[in-house]
Amino acid sequence: MAQITLIEAVTQALAYEMAHDDSVVVLGEDVGVNGGVFRATQGLQEKFGPLRVLDTPLDETTIAGATVGLAVQGMKPVAEAQFEGFIYPMMEHINCHAARMRNRTRGRLSVPAVFRAPWGGGIRAPEHHSEANEHLFTNVPGLRVVLPSSPARAYGLLLAAIRDPDPVIFLEPKRIYRQYKEEVPDDGEALPLDVCFVLRDGTDVTLVTWGAQVKETLEAADELAEEGISAEVIDVATLTPLDFDTIAESVSKTGRCVIVHEAPKTAGFGAEIAARLVEECLFDLLAPVQRVTGYDTHIPLFQLEMKYLPSVERIVAAAKKTLAVS
Amino acid sequence: MSIAAKFEIEYLQYLDPEGKLVVKEKDLPAFAKDLDHMVELYKLMVSTRVFDTKSIALQRTGKLGTYASCLGHEAAHVGIGSAMKDEDVYAPSYREYGAQLYRGVQPREVYTYWGGDERGNDYQKEPARHDFAWSVPIATQCLHAAGSALAFKIRNEKRVAVCTVGDGGSSKADFYGAINLAGAQQLPLVAVIVNNQWAISVPRSIQTGAETLAQKAIAAGLPTIQVDGNDIIAVRKAMEDALERARKGDGASVIEAVTYRLGDHTTADDARRYRGSEEVEEARAKEPIKRLRAYLESKKVWDQAKEDAWQAECDDWMDNEVNAYLETKTQPVTAMFDYTFAELPEDLARQRAEAISLESKEH
């Protein structure tokens, strides 16, 4: 069986679902002949034709609005924003229509669409190509916000996102698009949405993260292990609706929690998890919850961007800080 | 220097403000030669106005929230709705009741929505049941119609998506995006700009530097026409032509229907703040119902007795609709949760339970 990267898993999921469901269509800028600027849709137009893999005019508003229309007519559109930093013009259609259509019409109309975007920093890209802004969607009722962090989860979660009857924001951590390969059987098996994945069991501290930071967080857990500290690592994967129970169960066991994310700290999604821990698990906590995040600045251009992104060092330090309290 | 491109915008009118034909009878479109059908269109225009008058009365007596009147738009709206086939899809903004009533939206549903209850958008009758709901964010519905048209093209269905947008809405990226995509992909779309001269307080003159709104379609590569939006024959004819082109696979069209918003923008607005009564009175003289009535009377197919009988019938209908609306019980508090997702997520189920428990404490 072939070993594939995260981005190849995205392509594999799209191809699988398009082959098995005629209502699945892909649309966006450069998704057709060019196969997407990251090659996520490589080869799809050849297989499924120019209408099902549609090169749209260069207008994100058009892509998002047409996606809503397609979905209301019973298609399952998968729209691509070329970069997360270009998703803003789509937000009126995502927030005001895709997320609300079912509620507005008491279930008469719905929008089973996926809005994909390469997400996050760390690839030495120009301005507006490195945003982590998942928190702008996690506060919107009616949306699912999903961030895969491995080839297998990208495949399984994207299949689930396409099959979901409601709109899904699917943010792909582009920094780890080609970081490593793993075996991902092309069996059409979806992974559950609304579930956190425990990637590593531990007893001393819970490290909660998503997206590209799963890489640094797992490395931090390795380092902590060398010092005899047992860290549990949770990949939230679907931020909303949140499977808080998995996080609560882990923190109740370890008594300590570090939340790691790339987006700015203030009102980032880490704040929501921290608040929930205080509301629901305060007496299980042995130390204050720590957050390791991007700073409350714009992500710098690439000369400084690695100093902005959470590092293994910062995660290890935060974990030790929770352990210093007894 | 040579010419890279040239264009002209045709203007279509059959009935002048006095109700006189500006063309020879033989040049009327087929539907307009059928006077029984013209009477049916007239009756719907009148019932739309009766409905509109009732809506404002309901709002003024505290029985309705904010309401956007369609006074003066009856020809444009009925012209649009009556030209469409059942299998087509309509994406309105929030004022096109004449079109929507034709497609099966019930006045009680309009009242329910503007009365603060989402169930008003759950249109019960076909073909309205497969149409879009009211779209408050300006012009966004244009792209939903374009996306629908794309779905019809992909599935090879002989259906057309129709959207309406105002003169203000034609300034928005969504309108341009919709006609641009429709031109690029030859989509079965008809985009109607109902130019009523006012976007709340902003007049058409400072909405755009373009001489007509119809010509915006030229840049998208689409056929386009400006019509007298108070002349139902002109609106309906332009719609029929555009729908036929779209259904045949010849792509999208734009129609600019020139009319006038005789009322306030909504019941929350006071148009006296920004426009003079002289202008409104001048526009009122050109309104659509008066001219069609004069025409039908000149053809001896309508008279005062028929008018009185139809008005009475409309009043009865509206009383019945208003009663049905006023008798509708408020939704249970759980309704705000139950349509957020197809299946209620666990987290939201907890919040729902909390809302239920607060409810039982109140009672």
Q: In terms of DSSP H, where are the helices of chain B?
A: 30-33, 35-60, 74-83, 97-102, 107-114, 140-154, 173-185, 216-219, 232-248, 277-284, 288-298, 304-326, 335-338, 346-362
Radius of gyration of chain A (CA): 19
From the number of C-beta atoms within 10 Å of its C-beta (0-12, 13-18, 19+), residue B27 rates as exposed
CA distances from B119 to A147, B95, B323, B329 (A): 34, 18, 16, 11
**Three-state secondary-structure class, residue B257:** strand
**Is the peptide bond preceding residue A241 cis, with omega within 30 degrees of 0?**
yes
Looking at the partner chain, which of B118, B342, B348 has a beta carbon nearest the beta carbon of A106? Answer: B118
Instruction: Give the pLDDT confidence score for residue A83 in this predicted structure.
Output: 94
User: What are the residues facing B90 on neighbouring strands?
Assistant: B162
Exposure on the CB side of residue B217, measured as CA atoms within 13 A:
24
Q: At what angle do helices B35-60 and B288-298 cross, to 10 degrees?
A: 150
Quote the pTM value: 0.97
Q: Which residues of B98-134 are buried (b: 16+ CB within 10 A; e: fewer)?
A: bbbbbbbbbbbbbbbbbbebbbbbbbeeebbebbbbb
- Full set of structural domains in chain B with CATH: 11-331 (3.40.50.970), 332-363 (no CATH)
Which residue among B150, B335, B340 places its CB closest to the CB of A66?
A: B150
Would the CB atoms of B147 and A103 count as touching at under 8 Å? Answer: no
A244–B contact, CB cutoff 8 A:
yes
Report helix, strand or coil for B254: strand
Per-residue pLDDT tens over the stretch B157-205: 999 999 999 999 999 999 999 999 999 999 999 999 999 999 999 999 9
B38 neighbors B78 (Cβ within 8 angstroms): no
Q: Which of residues 303-362 of B touch A (CB under 8 A)?
A: 335-336, 339-343, 345-348
Q: What ipTM was predicted for this assembly?
A: 0.97
Phi-psi region of B200 (alpha: psi -120 to 50; beta: other; left: phi over 0): left
For the record, the structure tokens of B358 come out as 């607060």
Catalytic residues of B: 261, 265, 274
Given this model, what pLDDT does residue B360 score? 81
Question: Cα–Cα distances in Å, from B224 out to A26, B191, B216, B247, B309?
Answer: 30, 10, 9, 16, 39
Q: How many CB atoms lie within 10 A of CB A87?
A: 25
Residues 6+ apart with CB under 8 A from A132: A84, A119, A120, A121, A211, A261, A262, A263, A294, A299
Residue A249 forms beta bridges with which residues?
none
> pLDDT band at B83, cuts 50/70/90?
very high
Residues B154 and A25 sit within 8 Å (Cβ to Cβ): yes
Residue A163 class from Cβ within 10 Å (0-12 exposed, 13-18 middle, 19+ buried)? middle
CA dihedral B348, B351, B356, B360 (to 10 degrees): 170
Scan for tokens 């000369």, then name that residue.
A303
pLDDT in tens, chain A (326 residues): 689 999 999 999 999 999 999 999 999 999 999 999 999 999 999 999 999 999 999 999 999 999 999 999 999 999 999 999 999 999 999 999 999 999 999 999 999 999 999 999 999 999 999 999 999 999 999 999 999 999 999 999 999 999 999 999 999 999 999 999 999 999 999 999 989 999 999 999 999 999 999 999 999 999 999 999 999 999 999 999 999 999 999 999 999 999 999 999 999 999 999 999 999 999 999 999 999 999 999 999 999 999 999 999 999 999 999 999 75
Q: By the CB < 8 Å criterion, does A64 face chain B? A: yes
Q: What is the pLDDT of residues B279-323, one digit of tens each?
A: 999 999 999 999 999 999 999 999 999 999 999 999 999 999 999
> What gap in Å lies between CA B162 and CA B153, rounded to an integer?
14
Q: Give yes or no for B138 touching A (CB within 8 A).
A: no
A139 has a chain B CB within 8 A of its CB: no
Per-residue pLDDT of A240-288, as tens digits, reads 999 999 999 999 999 999 999 999 999 999 999 999 999 999 999 999 9
Are B151 and A73 an interchain contact pair (Cβ–Cβ within 8 Å)?
Answer: yes
Q: Can A129 be counted among the known catalytic residues?
A: yes
User: Do the beta carbons of residue B131 and residue A73 sit within 8 Å?
Assistant: no
CA nearest neighbour of A32 among A5, A63, A2, A68: A63
Domains and CATH numbers, chain A: 3-183 (3.40.50.970), 197-324 (3.40.50.920)
What pLDDT is stored for residue B363 in this prediction?
62
C-alpha distances (whole Å) from B312 to each of A293, B40, B158 are 69, 16, 40
For B153-182, b/e burial (b = at least 16 CB within 10 A) is bbeeeebbbbbbbbbbbbbbbbbbbbbbbb
Residues 49-68 of B with CB under 8 A from A: none
Q: Do A57 and B180 touch (CB under 8 A)?
A: yes
- Kindly report the number of other CB atoms within 10 A of residue A190's CB atom: 18
Residue among A51, A93, A107 whose CB faces B339 most closely: A107
pLDDT for the residue numbered A1: 66
Question: Which one, of A172, A130, A180, lies nearest residue A13 by Cα?
Answer: A172
% of residues, chain B, pLDDT over 70: 99
Distance, C-alpha A167 to centroid of its chain: 14
- Residue A219 dihedral angles phi and psi, to the nearest 5°: -65, -40
